Amino acid sequence: MNTNQPGLFDDLPTSPDEIICGVDEAGRGPLAGPVFAAAVILDPSRPIDGLRDSKKLTEAKRDLLAPLIKAQALAWAIAEASEAEIDKLNILHASMLAMRRAVEALKVQPTLALIDGNRCPVMKIQSIAVVGGDDKVEAISAASILAKTARDAALVTLHAAYPQYCFDQHKGYGTALHLERLRQFGASPVHRRSFAPVRAALAAGPQSLTEE
């Protein structure tokens, strides 16, 4: 298993037949759009240079690495949990659901999942949580990149449907611009109604365009 920290899993009982996937999510914090997750099984014979936590890479670098991961990994899958599922389950459990869906969608069945963070989704296979795993384990880094690029692309698509919110600029995060547009136009169908700023916008209603 390739990691950025030699010895990190020396105490893990693995065998040559172990098939390990890395898993990460993207989009827990935004006020709109689904939460995405990805699972990746890397091919040791086809290493990919530059894998690390997607948040530490530029958008251009992520966009270069994502197709390489898809082309060279043994298997990869991307899944999501919708805004309605986030509001029903809460964002933590919706993130777990998206991660489980990603693992279950892999075309190669893994025997072990390494999950970024301190919690694991309930799955049929063994899973281990790795705090900071997206910058320690290359398979998790790869999953981080796929989840992030997929979610960013989804928000650009949502921008075409709801251009007044400028999703292409802030990707749904609670920036000053996004909060301003929420106050002005109210919440869209893709906003997460369980999140406090969206609840506040729903309670206040859209402002008049002539309001100061």
Q: What is the pLDDT of residues 103-141, one digit of tens each?
A: 999 999 999 999 999 999 999 999 999 999 999 999 999
Q: For the domain 20-156, what is the CATH code? A: 3.30.420.10
Is 116 marked as a binding-site residue? yes
Give one DSSP letter per residue of 106-152, joined into a string. -SS--SEEEEESS-----SSEEEEETTGGGTBHHHHHHHHHHHHHHH
Q: Which residues contact 102 (CB under 8 A, 6 or more apart)?
A: 23, 37, 38, 39, 77, 78, 79, 143
Q: What is the pLDDT of residues 58-112, one digit of tens each?
A: 999 999 999 999 999 999 999 999 999 999 999 999 999 999 999 999 999 999 9
Q: Which helix (H) or strand (E) holds 59?
A: helix 59-72
CA atoms within 13 A on the CB side of 200: 11
Q: Angle 18-3-93 (CA atoms, 0-180°, nearest 5)?
A: 75
Which pair of structure tokens corresponds to residue 56? Answer: 């530490």
pLDDT of residue 15: 63
Q: Which residues contact 45 (CB under 8 A, 6 or more apart)?
A: none
pLDDT of residue 212: 36
User: What letter would DSSP give residue 179?
Assistant: H
For the chain, what are the domain ranges?
Answer: 20-156, 163-204
Per the CB < 8 A criterion, the answer to whether 186 and 99 are in contact is no
Is 24 marked as a binding-site residue? yes
Per the CB < 8 A criterion, the answer to whether 79 and 155 are in contact is no
Q: Angle 76-148-153 (CA atoms, 0-180°, nearest 5)?
A: 100
Q: What is the pLDDT of residues 146-184, one digit of tens each?
A: 999 999 999 999 999 999 999 999 999 999 999 999 999
Is 25 marked as a binding-site residue? yes
